Amino acid sequence: MSLWKDVQDLVGGEQNATILAVSISVGLVFVTTLLIWLCRGSRARGRNFLLIGLNGAGKTLMYSQLRYREEKHTVMSVAENKGKVHIRDNKIEKVFDIVDIPGHDSLRKILLEKYLPTARGIVLVVDSSSFSKDVRDVAKLLFSVLATSSVRRNRASILIACNKQDIPTAKSAKLVEQMLEKEIDALRTTRAAALSDTDDTRSSVQVGKSGKEFSFADVHPLSVRVAECCAKDFDALDDRETDLNRVIDWLLASAA
């Protein structure tokens, strides 16, 4: 009987070892597959840099300058412009996928739904010379971007490019920032009141810190910068001698 029990224990041990080995193998395959899927997913997201803004802000001119190294005559876009921009940084050429989104409301909404999930960076181009009359519309556009779940998930970088600084009436980057913060704060109050009236709190997305005046410093996990630029001032892109280089520097930093 003792010998038979020893045999049973041995067989049972081997079966347990086999089950354990199979379980480990299956687990390793699962973990490997998961890691591959996550890596592919991370590469699929965050590859595009979008140029967005109202009509006439200078998005397409900026796109032309960045891509073709020259100023081209532009008209109101009726479709997105897509292309690769090559920028040399310390003798290393870096390539950026740039998408110029038309400023027309209906087109912009459709295309933002398409491209925001793959946005690594977003350049909001504003016309600094007419910003006083545009501030509310610009704030609405920026608010919608800040509240977009895919933008927040991808931790996209955002640059507010205060364009047309060559015009005497252009607002400074600091003033544009202050005006936008004030307008977005008002939009948050209006939005909260509307949601309260409908009891639809499910669609509420907190932009900034609750109970505090809105500030771009409080839009974690996003980062927002404001810079002055002039898309027409484009003498030597590779020599970094123009105001547009503030946009270029931001692109390089966002891709790091």
Q: Are residues 35 and 88 in the same domain?
A: no
Residue 31 CB partners (closer than 8 Å, separation 6+)? none
Residue 6: CB atoms within 10 Å: 10
Q: Could you report the per-residue pLDDT of 7-17, keeping only the tens digit for each?
A: 445 445 556 55
Residues 88-96, mean pLDDT to the nearest whole number: 87
For residue 110, the Cα-to-chain-centroid distance in whole angstroms is 16
Instruction: Tell me what pLDDT residue 28 has.
Output: 61
Q: Are residues 58 and 30 in the same domain?
A: no
Domain around 35: 1-44
- Helix 131-146 with 105-115: angle, nearest 10 deg: 30
Residue 219 has pLDDT above 50, yes or no: yes
Q: Are residues 191 and 210 in the same domain?
A: yes
Q: Specify the DSSP element, H or E, that contains 150.
A: helix 149-153
Q: Are residues 92 and 160 in the same domain?
A: yes
Q: Are residues 180 and 58 in the same domain?
A: yes
> Final residue of a domain: which of 44, 59, 74?
44
